[in-house]
Structure formats: structure tokens, C-alpha cells
Chain A
Amino acid sequence: MEIRMSGVPPYPGAPLWAKVLGFTGLALILLGVASFIAGRGPSGHRIHSGQDGGATPSSRVLDIPVPPAGDYR
């Protein structure tokens, strides 16, 4: 038998709703961390960064005008 000298009754434990909410939140966090570690990033996709620090659309790379072939002298 446990004797408590301080007079504090034993802790009854967390209520069911708190356990359910905690486990659900933990599962969602683990899912998010797993998708982040998997290399897909927080948004699910990588975003290409430009030299100016801003986001540069990957398709813009294809928009660079290509000079016509020929003699450039």
C-alpha cells in the first residue's frame, strides 16, 4: 500500500479526450515530419530559389531566349 506523507492524493491520469487529442496531434505531426524528411518539403514540393533570394519559377528557365545559331563575330 502506498503511503503519501504530503497529503496529495494520487494523480488520476489524463482524461480520455486529452489522450485522443494528444495521439491525433502526435500522429499528424509525425506524418508532417515524415513527408518533410522524405524530401518533398513542407508544401509537398520543392520550390526553386533564384539568386535574388526570391522564388523563381522553374518554367522561367525555359523562357530564356536562345540566340540563333550562326556566326557571332
Chain B
Amino acid sequence: MMMGPRLRKLALTAHVACSVGSVGAVAACLVLAATGLTSQDSRTVRAAYLAMDLTTRLVIGPVLLASLLAGVIQSLGTTWGLFRHHWVVAKLLLTLLVLVVLSLQLDLIAYLADMATQNMLSSADRRGLRSSPVIHAAGGLVALLVPVALSVYKPRGMTRYGWRKHHEQPRTSLRSPETGS
């Protein structure tokens, strides 16, 4: 079912806002994780991990989910489809991957916040534990920037399913989905 122009623009606005917002939130999380790893001041470390815990649970997770849902609705309600173009599938898989990795990191971040609250993060043997959020936040940032670039450039390439559907459907319009508009 194709969406009307008003609904399509609403879904697009929600999708763009959530996608770009998640990039900013993950960038902030990367700064907090790096601060927690490198700072020598225990109060700064505690504040960084507590803020990171709140940011991941209350901002990044919900915003990523909203971005995924808005993207799925957007793709299903337009001629792009969900599985017709490689760039749409790549965006979907990358967002899902970031969500899975984030959910795997939530316990560790809560653990670090708990440890920081009790001033137990001074020992050097937890450096490996504290470097994990930095690595994952940096990877997540790259993984979220790729879908943003894919949305802007919309590189050519249809999936096998999209190719078949495109050539099976009656030609009612001269516009090709491959051209992007």
C-alpha cells in the first residue's frame, strides 16, 4: 500500500530525525566512554559512566528502534520496498546489527556505572573492561554513518527479488526505481 504524500513526509521526517539523532547520541556516548577510560579524576569517571548508562538506555536504544520502525514503514509505503534495493537492505541490516551490539553492551555499561558509583574503577586491571565501550561506540558510529550516506547517495543495484518484481509488474510509468526518483 502506497502512502499519501503527507504521511510519507511525516514518516521520512521521523526516520531522518531518528537516524541522525542516533548518530549524535552514539558520538556523545563515544566521548563519555573515552572520558571514562582516560580521565584520572574519579568524579569525572563516575559522571561519565552514569551519563553513558542513561544515554544508552534512554536515548540510543529507543531512538534506534524508532529509526528502524520509521524506516521499515517508509520503505513499505513507497515504491522503494523493503527488499528490492541493496541500499535499503544494507541500511536495515546495519541498523539491526547496531541494535544487537548495543543490547549486548547494556549490561557492561550498567556494570561500569555501578562500579563507578562505588569508586571501584581505579584498578588498572579493569582497563580492558573500560576500553570495550570505546571500541563498540566507535564501531557503532561508523556503522550508523554508513546508512546515512546510503540514504543520501542511494547507490544503484536491485536485489534479485526487486529485479524480478520490477520486470514483472506492468509498466505504468516511465520512471524507473533504479534512477531513484
Query: Interface on A for B, CB 8 Å cutoff?
Result: 6-9, 11-12, 14-15, 17-18, 21-22, 25, 28-29, 32, 42-45, 47, 54-55, 57, 59-60
In the assembled complex, which residues on chain A have CB atoms less than 8 Å from the CB atom of B107? 43, 47, 55
Q: Does B168 count as interface, using CB distance less than 8 angstroms?
A: yes
By a beta-carbon cutoff of 8 Å, the part of chain B in contact with chain A is 86-87, 90, 93-94, 97, 101, 104-105, 107-108, 110-111, 114-115, 118, 120, 123, 128-129, 131-132, 136, 139, 146, 155-157, 159-160, 163-164, 167-168
- The answer to whether A43 and B157 have CB atoms under 8 Å apart is no
**B167–A9 touching, CB < 8 Å:** yes
Q: Pull 25 A–B residue pairs with CB atoms less than 8 Å apart, ordered by A.
A: A8-B164, A8-B168, A11-B164, A12-B163, A15-B86, A15-B155, A15-B156, A18-B86, A21-B146, A22-B90, A42-B101, A42-B104, A42-B105, A43-B107, A43-B129, A44-B131, A44-B132, A45-B108, A45-B128, A55-B114, A55-B115, A57-B120, A59-B120, A59-B123, A60-B120
Given A45-B129, A47-B111, A55-B114, residue A25 in contact with residue B93 (CB < 8 A): yes
A54, B93: Cβ atoms under 8 Å? no
Distance in Å: Cβ of A57 to nearest Cβ of chain B: 5
A57 to B126, CA, bound (A): 11
**Consensus secondary structure, chain B interface:** helix
